Amino acid sequence: MIDFEIPGEVEELRERVREFVAAVAIPAEERDIAEHGLAAELRAELQAAAKEAGVFAPQLPRDLGGHGLDMRGTAVVLEEAGYGLLGPPAMNCAAPDEGNMHMLELIASPEQRARYLEPLARGEIRSCFAMTEPAPGAGSDPSMLLSRAERSGDGWSINGRKWFITGAEGAAFAICMAMTDEGATMFLVDAENPGWRVERLIDATDRVFTGGHGEVVFEDCVVGEEAILGELGEGFRYAQVRLAPARLTHCMRWLGAARRAHDFALRHAATREAFGQRLGDLGMVQQKIAESEIDIETSRMLIWKCAWALDQGSHARQESQIAKAHVGEATWRILDRAVQICGALGVSGDGPLARTMNELRPFRIYDGPTETHLWAIARRAVRRATPSDA
């Protein structure tokens, strides 16, 4: 049975996050002028403030310095973190580090935990997840993976090209997916390894992710046996361990950003007058407001349902794909309506909406574009409806 009551300690943490985002994270957006994500100095300053406020890395278990939240609690808190664009990186719950920490916590060996997970959890380093490749390599279809890892002496030699690798510039290590004779395998590659390099930063519409989105080359990148994350040939299975929760935490954070856009538009509609009345009293504006209210509620419920399924031990593939498909489209609709209500103010730098448009739009593509999820959802539905003897 799904319980919609928020536990007292989660509610208390949500309020602290709300205060932190309002007092620290949102005001810092005016200082966030780095070309790709937070400048290192501002990131360190905001993370120190988050630690002082007791809101740092809330999704992590207590032994890693977090609050030990389950996925339902994480959904409540990360939505609030996402209300400010700099809330998640300040609180060390932003992609890709948040997803990488989750996977490392489940899969990494004790030595790998000490070397990679613990400093990542403390915010001392950053990481990236290197799976996506330029065409004709792996994108929405991971089975098209072209990068290869071959046995070399006492270790492995990795060769391949990756692109749109979030956070690659300045990352201390990468989790690289490559094919071996045993199947897809994940490798931990240190940034100082001479066999990998960030060839360029891609000029993308969004810039909130620290380190931007890089095109990365692995060329005769030699690593030892200890670099294998988990077991040989299990990379695709481990990717699913990471993907459903990471896909869902994206939904949580961007729902917070969409809520902020909606709140901004509401305040404008409640005070701006036109044609002898407030905008909020005009029927067409009221329809946009009502539709956004519905999109917020349905998005939150789908997120909470998927979080509940994950807490029950389910892989939640169906639930996470439904949530991603709906929330990706719904948050964009909410933002688009907010811009339309605000008119010229909505597309100017005098409010948060114009920047949020650039930041939010790619969400409908990464972690699987909407169309890929709709296709998978429909295929399952058709299978359920197909007679067993057909």
With cut-offs at 50, 70 and 90, classify the pLDDT of residue 2. Answer: confident
Mean of per-residue pLDDT scores for the chain: 95
Among 234, 269, 301, give the residue marking a domain's end: 234
Distance CA 189, CA 223 (A): 7
Residue 126 CB contacts under 8 Å (≥ 6 apart), including other chains: 97, 120, 167, 170, 171, 172, 210, 211
Clarify whether residues 79 and 171 are in a common domain.
Answer: no
With cut-offs at 50, 70 and 90, classify the pLDDT of residue 38. Answer: confident
Contact 305, 244 (CB under 8 A): no
Is 191 among the domain residues? yes
Mean pLDDT, residues 345-355 = 96
Distance CA 285, CA 259 (A): 17
Determine what percent of the chain is predicted with pLDDT higher than 70: 99
pLDDT in tens, 136-170: 999 889 899 999 999 998 999 999 999 999 999 99
Q: Assign residue 104 the CATH number of its domain.
A: 1.10.540.10
Clarify whether residues 100 and 161 are in a common domain.
Answer: no
By residue range, what is the domain housing residue 71?
8-121
Clarify whether residues 161 and 261 are in a common domain.
Answer: no
pTM: 0.96
Inform me whether the pLDDT recorded for 117 exceeds 80.
yes
pLDDT in tens, 374-390: 999 999 999 999 998 76
Clarify whether residues 135 and 99 are in a common domain.
Answer: no
Among the ranges given (7-16, 222-231, 255-264, 380-389), the one the predictor scored with the smallest mean pLDDT? 380-389
Is 343 among the domain residues? yes
Residue 7 CB contacts under 8 Å (≥ 6 apart), including other chains: 73
User: Does the CA dihedral 38-39-44-48 come out positive or negative?
Assistant: negative
Clarify whether residues 20 and 154 are in a common domain.
Answer: no
Among 95, 121, 147, give the residue marking a domain's end: 121
Between the alpha carbon of residue 183 and those of residues 149, 221, 240, 259, the distances in Å are 10, 18, 15, 42
Among 78, 98, 121, give the residue marking a domain's end: 121
Inform me whether the pLDDT recorded for 33 exceeds 90.
no
Inform me whether the pLDDT recorded for 247 exceeds 90.
yes
Distance CA 239, CA 237 (A): 5
With cut-offs at 50, 70 and 90, classify the pLDDT of residue 54. Answer: very high
The larger pLDDT score, comparing residue 243 to residue 249, is at 249
pLDDT of residue 50: 98
pLDDT of residue 32: 76
Is 330 among the domain residues? yes
Q: Assign residue 366 the CATH number of its domain.
A: 1.20.140.10
Clarify whether residues 259 and 367 are in a common domain.
Answer: yes
pLDDT in tens, 192-242: 999 999 999 999 999 999 999 999 999 999 999 999 999 999 999 998 888
Clarify whether residues 276 and 357 are in a common domain.
Answer: yes
The larger pLDDT score, comparing residue 263 to residue 154, is at 263
User: Does the CA dihedral 281-283-284-290 come out positive or negative?
Assistant: positive
Clarify whether residues 216 and 149 are in a common domain.
Answer: yes
Look-up of token digits 């807490």: 311
Distance CA 354, CA 272 (A): 19
Mean pLDDT, residues 20-24 = 98
End-to-end CA distance of the chain: 35
Contact 203, 212 (CB under 8 A): no
Clarify whether residues 294 and 251 are in a common domain.
Answer: yes
Clarify whether residues 137 and 269 are in a common domain.
Answer: no
pLDDT in tens, 292-312: 999 999 999 999 999 999 999
